[in-house]
Every structure is written in structure tokens, then in C-alpha cells.
Structure 1
Amino acid sequence: MNPFLDIIAGHPVRELAAGEFVLKQDEPCPSLYVLLEGEVEVLRDDVRVAKISEVGAVFGEMSLLLGGPCTASVRTLTAARITTVDEPRAFLASSPAACLHIAELLAHRIDALNHYLVDVKHQYEGNDHIGMVDDVLSTLMHRHPKRKTKN
């Protein structure tokens, strides 16, 4: 069993029918969501970027960490049960284990993206447009967060 599920035990559980949105891109994302059962799709600009059925999958973490609206939409493909963690910053501040879990999830995603981009680069080596992949890889490795300025 996923140890992260022990950490989120006691938070409210929502039951959703197939086709319902857990969150929508560009809308506020005040909570963190954890998949307990079912299958969802992640959409970015109405393009499916992932299909997820892994118990313990987390949604809303990008918005939470970046301090902005949802970066993607999440819609159920089947009936689903989802835990909602309200006040997620306070939750993460009080749980190093939860922070580590989310950091590991994000690291796996970045690693998978890097592998994919390197594979694309190998496949299209010598083509004029491959410089785009170099730019993306460079951005992933060297991007610094935008600093918030005080007025």
C-alpha cells in the first residue's frame, strides 16, 4: 500500500462520476487532490498529456508550488474517489513525508520528460528543428523561478 495514503487519511473524500472535472486549467486551485480509486486524464490546452489510475496520484501540486492557477485540467474517465486536502501549504509545512512524496513525484516526471526529449533528439539528429529540443532541455536544467517583486 502507498504510505502517502496514511498521511492523507482523515481528509474529506469525494466520489465523482465519469466525465467530472477534478480541476480545470487556468482556474484557481485551492486544494491538493489525491486519487484513491478510478482513472483520470490530465489535459493541457485540451490535449491529453496523461492517463492515470495509480492510487496516490496527486493533482494540484504544480499550482500550489507555483502559486498560480491550475496548470492543467484533470477529468475522471471512470467513477473515481478522490481525497481533497484543503489548506495544502499548511498541510505540506506540517508533513515532511508529504513534501518528500510530492518532490519524488515531480522528480519522476522531470526524469521521464528528460528521457523523452533525449530520445526525440536522437531520432531527429541532423534535422534543422532539433535545436528546439536543445532549448527545452536547457530550459529544464537551468530555469530559475521568477522572483516576485514587492510594490
Structure 2
Amino acid sequence: MKKQVDKLNNAIFLVTEEHSCPIYNVGEELKVENFCLSVPAFKPQCLYLSQSIMNVITTRATFSGLSRRTGPKTRFDCGGCQGMIYFEFKKEKDFATLQMKLLIESELRRRKQHLDRFFSILRNLDVFEALDDDALIDLIMLLEMKNVPIDRVILKKDEPGSHLFIILDGRVAVIDEDGSRITEFGQGAIFGEMSLLSDEPVTNAVYTIADTQVAMLSLKNLRHVLKKYPVLQIFLFKLLVDRAQTMTLRSGNITSGMSGELAEISIVDLLQLINSAQKTGTIDLILEEGKAVVCFKEGEIVQARFKNHRDKDAIYAMLGVKSGRFTYTKGIAPGLGALPPIGGFIGLIMEGLQRIDEDKD
């Protein structure tokens, strides 16, 4: 006759240590209910871990009086694959005391407030537009919330990236080596993705310039989210490319095929960049009022078009535009190389800016 084994059908285990585990983090709970194992949201179920827990809960000697012990908790391991985790018995799942039930209800209320407060902010972010509400709720449960006072470092230059950050409230600045501000981010902005996706150290420090609350997604959890929702990977890699191009522009370089937003670099700065680099190429702009084209030969403008304006008038008209998108390509159309400059570059820009000031007055 087969020997009957004791089964702890309802229990919670806690991950207490991990070494290069590709899935689980310290502090996460592994729940056994009716002899079934459930793991944290968004996490796949590891067969090594499942087998290990199966062995634990079906061994009479292991769980003989385990939940009633007063000494150190018994420590178990997953058996190991790419890495190793260690977990301990935390408590029986069916809580008997009123105090424990009240604690559970309090935790549920806290989680609901957490969702109610941040769901609408994250729902409106472009990066999460492709996720349905249930998936977004699961994602929020993976986020860690942190309050950071003003003038504190969130990311240090040259350190490895560990989290993706989403600004829920407040403002941060990206700081160059000389202490100057490269750019600023406010509510809804994402940062920290460049070092995570490129597997490179943090290129610039990030400081808070106001009391700031951020939501953080660890690298391990980010990998699981991207694996389950590839559309997020596409979005973040596009963001990575856009940020890299913006940094390149600010460093004074521009290459064929580069595109960007005028919110990141003004038309004046863009034109000056090509002029100073003595480039021969074409800028195509998509603006609110229509398309525009500016052609350069060795840094001098030889042709410009914007709406019904041509050459100098086109430059004057587009200098006041604040939003839109540009693309730079190397080379100009055949025949344009023989055209003379439409005017001295510095003179053109100064005249255009003066006209803008006069219109404001």
C-alpha cells in the first residue's frame, strides 16, 4: 500500500535571496493554494521552482510542524538553472486571527488606492497605449513608487542602469559634465531606458529640480514586460533612437537620415548646425502650416520653400515656428549645386529674428 504523505495545500513562500535569477526578485511571494502554485503577475512559472516546491510540500518530514516553529525558518532553493533563488516558508495562507485578516484588508485598500491614483496617469502615456486595462493593472503592480526630494541625484553618470523611471509628479533635469542642463522632463516622461536597452552605463546624471515622485520598473521586470508585449519593445527602441539623435544634435553633429522634433532643437539652431558643419544636404520639415524645404550647399542656403514663400521670405516665415518634425538627408537635387547662396547666412538669420521681434511688438 502506498504511503500517504502530508500536503500543505495552502501556504505562502517568500523569496529571500537570489543570484542571477532571470525571473524572480527578493521579496516576491510564491503562493500555494489547493496544491497549485501561483507566482507574481507578469512572471512565467519556472519548472525548476515548481518541482522544488512540489518536493517541499509533499514531504512529511519537511512540513511536520513547520508553521508552528519558533526558531529560524527552513530555507529552500530552486535547484538552479541560469541562476539560483532561495525561499522560506512565510505563513499558512488561511489566516485564523482577526488581526491578520484586518492586515490583509488594509493591504488590499492600499493597493486599490495605489491603482486609483496612478492608473489614469499611466493610461494616458503613449508607451502604454497598446496595453488593455487588465494588462496595465498587472504592470502597475510591478512598479515601485519612490518620492525623491528636490536637488537629489536619481541617476549617476557611468553607473549601470537598473530601472526604467516614469515621472508621476515633479520634474527632473539631465545634467552635462560641465553642470549645464541638457534637457528637462516632467509628469509622464520616461527616462533611464537608454542604459537599459543599450546595456551601456548611464551617459548623463539626472537630478530632481522639484520634489518628484517616480515609478520604477526594474530591469528584470522590464524584460518580462517586453517579452510579453513586443509592441512596448518597439516603442522603447524608437524612443532610444530619438533620444540618441537628440544628443547627437546637441553635440554639434548631424548625419544623413537623422530626424527629430523642433521641440528638441529649434529651427535656428538646426540651420546653424548645418551651416557650421558646412554640410551639403536637404532639410525637409513637416510643420503645422505645411511642408518646408531648405537646401544647403557647403553650409550656405541655396534654396528654401515654405507655403507660398520662396528663399529669403521662406526662411523668415519658418524661423518663428516652434513645433514640427524635420529630416536631414545628404545631398541636394541636381542643378541646385550651381545656384548661388540666397544671402549671407548670418545676415539671413539676424534679419529673420528681427522681423519676429517686430511682429511681437
When normalised by structure 2's length, the TM-score is 0.32
Q: How far apart, CA to CA, are the structure 1 residues paired with 2:161 and 2:274?
A: 40
Aligned counterpart in structure 1 of residue 149 of structure 2, from 17, 30, 36: 17
Aligned counterpart in structure 2 of residue 52 of structure 1, from 185, 189, 212: 185
1:47 and 1:93, CA in 2 relative to 1: closer, same or farther beyond 3 A?
Answer: farther
Q: CA RMSD in A?
A: 3.1
Q: How far apart, CA to CA, are the structure 2 residues paired with 1:125 and 1:26?
A: 30
Q: How far apart, CA to CA, are the structure 1 residues paired with 2:171 and 2:274?
A: 36
Question: Which letter maps to 2:271?
Answer: H
1:107 and 1:63, CA in 2 relative to 1: closer, same or farther beyond 3 A?
Answer: closer
Other structure's SS at 1:63 match: helix
Aligned to 1:123: 272
1:129-148 pair list within 5 angstroms: 129-131=276-278
1:125 and 1:64, CA in 2 relative to 1: closer, same or farther beyond 3 A?
Answer: closer
Q: How far apart, CA to CA, are the structure 2 residues paired with 1:3 and 1:103?
A: 14
1:83 aligns with 2:83: no
Offset at 1:27?
0.9
Q: Which deviations, in whole Å up to 9, do the C-alpha atoms of 1:64-108 show, x marking residues without a partner?
A: 122121111111111111111111333322322422332343455
Q: What 5-or-longer segments of structure 1 have no aligned partner?
A: 135-139, 142-151
Count of residue correspondences: 131
Q: What 5-or-longer segments of structure 2 have no aligned partner?
A: 1-123, 129-135, 246-259, 281-327, 330-361
Other structure's SS at 1:19 match: coil
Aligned to 2:261: 112
Aligned to 1:27: 159
Aligned to 1:94: 228
- Asked whether the equivalents of residues 166 and 216 of structure 2 are also in contact (C-alpha less than 8 Å), the reply is yes
Offset at 1:44?
2.6
Q: How far apart, CA to CA, are the structure 2 residues paired with 1:125 and 1:13?
A: 43
1:37 and 1:125, CA in 2 relative to 1: closer, same or farther beyond 3 A?
Answer: closer
Other structure's SS at 2:261 match: helix
When normalised by structure 1's length, the TM-score is 0.68
Aligned to 2:63: none
Q: How far apart, CA to CA, are the structure 2 residues paired with 1:104 and 1:43?
A: 22
- Asked whether the equivalents of residues 197 and 237 of structure 2 are also in contact (C-alpha less than 8 Å), the reply is no
Structure with more of its chain in helix, by fraction:
1
1:125 and 1:36, CA in 2 relative to 1: closer, same or farther beyond 3 A?
Answer: closer
Q: How far apart, CA to CA, are the structure 2 residues paired with 1:2 and 1:121?
A: 28
> Identity of aligned pairs, percent?
24
Offset at 1:17?
0.8
Offset at 1:15?
0.9
Aligned to 1:2: 125
Q: How far apart, CA to CA, are the structure 2 residues paired with 1:3 and 1:118?
A: 26
1:121 and 1:4, CA in 2 relative to 1: closer, same or farther beyond 3 A?
Answer: closer
Q: How far apart, CA to CA, are the structure 2 residues paired with 1:17 and 1:34?
A: 16
1:40 and 1:15, CA in 2 relative to 1: closer, same or farther beyond 3 A?
Answer: same
Q: How far apart, CA to CA, are the structure 2 residues paired with 1:118 and 1:89?
A: 38
Greater C-alpha radius of gyration = 2
Question: Which letter maps to 1:29?
Answer: G
Q: How far apart, CA to CA, are the structure 2 residues paired with 1:101 and 1:82?
A: 20
1:50 and 1:125, CA in 2 relative to 1: closer, same or farther beyond 3 A?
Answer: closer
- Asked whether the equivalents of residues 161 and 195 of structure 2 are also in contact (C-alpha less than 8 Å), the reply is yes
